[in-house]
Amino acid sequence: MSTVTRFMTEDELLRMPDDSNRYELIEGELRQISPTGYDHGRCTGNLHALLRAHTIKNKLGDVLAAETGFIIARTPDGRATVRAPDIAFVATGRIPSNADTRKYLEMAPDLVVETLSPSDAALDVEEKIASWLRAGTRAALTVNPSSRSVTVYRSLNQITILTDQDTLDLSDVIADFRCRVAEI
């Protein structure tokens, strides 16, 4: 007896009824994402507020919340990978004028942020960061509330770890954006 795996499309994911859970689609396979804790929400909120204030003031693009999904890959037979970072930034002018923004955009954001939770497995986080970078994301950050650190990935080989005493400089992705890691 053989088992047939049923894959989901990105349109089916988008139309799923709200059950208070978050999901991603990996090569057509639905994966649930665990709810996060207070430290995760606080750090993510702090960085989101800093990014949003800067990008609005300077008209640089959109800073998006955690529920925002992006189609970042497809298998040869068309099965989509839809990922939703904790924070995303898309620069002004990158979204095609004919894009249907009510749906998932098929593109990689310029910046993604993944805030670590105690339930996150290191291998899963590494896989997620690698998938963003392969898709064309210019910088990916992991924020670690426990160690009060931020890891900046500009590629799989260019990785910088920052601590409370350091300044996070994303000016190559978001013009003139800098903040102290301690602010996050």
Residue 18 lies inside a defined structural domain of this protein? no
Residue 16, classed as helix, strand or coil, is coil
Q: What is the tally of structural domains in the chain?
A: 1
Residue 150 lies inside a defined structural domain of this protein? yes
Tens of pLDDT along the chain (184 residues) come to: 555 567 888 989 888 888 878 888 889 988 888 778 899 899 999 999 999 999 999 999 999 998 899 999 999 999 999 999 999 999 999 999 999 999 999 999 999 999 998 877 877 889 999 999 999 999 999 999 999 999 999 999 999 999 999 999 999 999 999 999 999 9
Q: How far is CA 111 from CA 12, 33, 96, 143, 184, in A?
A: 26, 20, 18, 13, 16
Residue 1 lies inside a defined structural domain of this protein? no
> Which is nearest to 60 in space by CA: 152, 170, 182, 181?
170
Residue 8 lies inside a defined structural domain of this protein? no
State the CATH number of the domain containing residue 97: 3.90.1570.10
Give the span between the Cα atoms of 133 and 138, in whole angstroms. Answer: 7
The structure's pTM equals: 0.88
Range of the domain at 103: 36-67+82-183
